[in-house]
Each structure stands twice: as structure tokens, then as C-alpha cells.
Amino acid sequence: MVSSVEDTDIVDQVAASTGLPPGVAARVVDDVLAFYRTPTEQYVRRRHTELQAEGRKNPEIFPLIATELRGRLVAAPALSERQLRRIVYG
């Protein structure tokens, strides 16, 4: 398996700390990095759809998404509820 992770130290660390084979550790690292590389707009749309599927309504959804964005490891820019609505609805 060829990993797209340029820094092999992180793959080595994950493999050593979990006991995973290096190929599996590389895939895990790739998956985590892909999650954090998700563009903000794509993340907002996906979360909005997920939260609606749980039966939540927009007055609850948009503040929750705004809070989640502030807490991400790679923080997105601060977005108002209006900006979030524009991402979802255009």
C-alpha cells in the first residue's frame, strides 16, 4: 500500500502506539488527515444534513455547527449563522 502521508513519523507513531501494521496505520492517518482537509463548506453541508436527519431544526443546527467549527483541530474561520445559511441554501 502506498500512503499519501509525507511525514512517516506520524505513521510510525500510530503503528507503535496501537500495534497496527504500518500499512494499516498509514491508512488510518490518511483517513484522519482527509477528514481535517474537508473544506468548511462541505463540512457545513454534511453536518446540516446529518443534524436534520436526527430531527433537529435550523434554530438549533446553525449555532451547533458554528460551535463545532470553532472546536475543530484545524479551525475554520468564524462564520455567522447567516454565512452558514448561505453555505447550505446558497
Query: Which position has the higher pLDDT, 25 or 36?
Result: 25
Cα–Cα distance for residue pair 68/71, rounded to 1 Å: 5
Number of Cβ within 10 Å of residue 82's Cβ equals 8
The pLDDT confidence band at residue 78, using thresholds 50, 70 and 90, is confident
The pLDDT confidence band at residue 1, using thresholds 50, 70 and 90, is very low
Helix or strand run (H / E) with residue 49: helix 40-53
